[in-house]
A and B are shown apart, each in its own frame.
Chain A
Amino acid sequence: GAGVSQSPSNKVTEKGKDVELRCDPISGHTALYWYRQSLGQGLEFLIYFQGNSAPDKSGLPSDRFSAERTGGSVSTLTIQRTQQEDSAVYLCASSLFAGPGYGYTFGSGTRLTVV
């Protein structure tokens, strides 16, 4: 596609429910990243996929968070048993490759609110 597409754009969920956030990267981009941004804060790295390599999960805050990337394209971030501190904007980005020299293209994000 022309850009990175994320859905839904907004999600309100009750505490304890599971949520799935979707990211459709730019076609042909091999690297895909998930970050989250709390209100007025910086970007916190969550997880990164590069081609068929094992993902770098070092930023996932707890075992309630998981992500997969199917067929080297679409990615889904799943948060189980959501907590209020999970409320944030979840940003997905892709780049042509993972190495230096490649800037990220971000999607518009999913604003998650846990009530």
Chain B
Amino acid sequence: KQEVTQIPAALSVPEGENLVLNCSFTDSAIYNLQWFRQDPGKGLTSLLLIQSSQREQTSGRLNASLDKSSGRSTLYIAASQPGDSATYLCAVTLGSRLIFGQGTELSVKP
């Protein structure tokens, strides 16, 4: 059974720091992996989508990598800002299923 795990569950950093969020999955036969951001009381916003054949995707200060063989993905956030405070979730598409991790709650302190 596919499991998706995100570590740490919560992270607090000072503004300006570079940081890495981790996502691991047990079944490497995924179609893709997505990173989302969820603000309190809101829906999820897609940040980056990595196809199974790709190694990384970049958007602005965000960079996501994918290593299927080891079942890992990382989301790198450069020069963090208070506006980056949110919960970050990863999700994998496996067959007909979309499976989410539990998320990492990020707090960036001014």
* Interaction A to B: no
Interface residues of A, Cβ cutoff 8 Å to B:
none
